[in-house]
Copies of this chain bind each other. A is one copy, B any other.
Amino acid sequence: MTTTYNQIAGQSVERLAALSDGIFAVAMTLLVLDLHVPAVESIHTEHDLWRALVLLSPQLVMYLMTFMTLGIFWLGQQTQLNHLVGSHRSLAWLHIGFLFAVSIMPFLTRLLAEYPTYRLALIAYWLNIVVLGGMLYLSWVCALDLGLVKPELSPAASTAIKRRIVTAQALYTGAVLLCVVSTTASIAVIVLIQISYVFGLDFSRRATNPPPATPRQ
A interface residues (Cβ-Cβ under 8 A, vs B): 2-12, 15, 17-19, 21-33, 35, 37-38, 40, 43, 46, 49-50, 53, 64, 67, 71, 74-76, 78-79, 81-83, 85-86, 88-90, 92-93, 96, 99-100, 103-104, 106-107, 110-111, 114-115, 118-121, 124, 144-149, 151, 153-161, 163-164, 198-203, 205-207, 209-213, 216-217
Contact = CB atoms under 8 A, between A and B. Distances in A.
- Counting every copy of the chain, the complex holds 4
A70 to B, nearest CB: 9
Contacts of A31: 103
B78 A46 contact: no
A207 B76 contact: no
B107 A35 contact: yes
Given A53-B124, A146-B207, A160-B3, A10 B78 contact: yes
Interface centre among A8, A23, A119 (most CB of B within 10 A): A8
